[in-house]
Structure 1
Amino acid sequence: MAARTKARKRALELLFESEQRGVNVGTLLEERLAAPTTQHPLPEYAVQLVRGVLEHWSQINETLTTYSQGWSLERMAAVDRAALRLGVWEVVWNDEVPDSVAISEAVALTEALSTDDSPRFVNGLLARVSEVKSTLV
């Protein structure tokens, strides 16, 4: 598994865990950086992803709500929400990653961790965000 792929998975796990436990993801991130729970510290790119999502949290949620066509954030599976938040940040705010790669990686995460319908939903929503991203920045 490529380093950035692993980092995306770790970032998704942090976003998911914070939501499930009802704790602030920024607080959880800082706790994990201070005292890792595994023998491998968080990859730098995972930290960058989570911090990027945090920095643009409201805009990301507004974007997902606007373009998800009938799906509220609350109705989406928690894993899908986490993958979508990471994907939106990479598509809109990370110029180092091509949109197609960000979308493919988010789809792969949902293929591995979510429902059978999730990959198609995530792909379609992130493709739409990619199309309109110049209006979002």
Structure 2
Amino acid sequence: MSRKRSQARRHAVQAVYQWQMAGQDVGSIVDQFLAEQDVKSFEVPYFQDLLHGVPRHLTELDELLKPALDRAIESVDPVERAVLRLGVYELNFHPEVPYRVVINESVELAKVFGAEQGHRFVNGVLDKVAKEIRKVEMKAKKA
């Protein structure tokens, strides 16, 4: 697991949160992060992919989350919502990243930015979604 990729996820969750809360243009958020952060410390293309991908595929991501949630996505804590959307985006659009890495990274982000027990919620939801999206990969791990 690359430290630079982890940093890209960390910045992306903050940026997705900002986008959700302020409704700000994604391009402006990218420009802001690139101006404020040390671009050598994280994978900029991956950050950009995550940040552009979540809004672009929002309806699809929320539909993938819906069966795993015990409430409407809009009523999920905004930080956890950003983490979940990012995690589902990676599970769905980055099959080269093992599902366990996606879930572990998402749990860590929820621990850093979310509510006290938010990481448990994120873990449970993404585990359910991974069982649907990554069925083949999960079966191969068990064999």
* TM-score, scaled to structure 1: 0.84
What's 2:95 paired with? 95
Q: SS at the partner of 1:96?
A: coil
CA offset digits 1:13-58 (Å, max 9, x no partner): 111112222324x34345447xx33152472211111222233211
Counterparts of 2:31 and 2:35, CA distance in 1? 9
CA offset digits 1:65-111 (Å, max 9, x no partner): 23202x21121111101110110011122012000000000000000
8 A Cα contact 1:14 1:28, kept in partner? no
How far is 1:5 from its partner?
A: 0.7
- Taking structure 1 as reference, are residues 22 and 52 closer, same or farther at Cα in structure 2, changes over 3 Å only? closer
What's 2:7 paired with? 6
Tell me which protein shows more helix as a share of its residues.
2
Counterparts of 2:134 and 2:108, CA distance in 1? 25
Gaps of 5+ in 1: none
Q: SS at the partner of 1:97?
A: coil
Q: SS at the partner of 2:116?
A: coil
Q: SS at the partner of 1:74?
A: helix
Gaps of 5+ in 2: 136-143
The number of equivalent residue pairs is 131
Give the superposed CA RMSD: 2.1
Structural mapping, 1:1-137, within 5 Å: 2-24=3-25, 26-29=26-29, 31-32=31-32, 36-41=34-39, 43-69=44-70, 71-133=71-133
Q: SS at the partner of 1:18?
A: helix
- Taking structure 1 as reference, are residues 111 and 16 closer, same or farther at Cα in structure 2, changes over 3 Å only? same
Percent identical among aligned pairs is 29
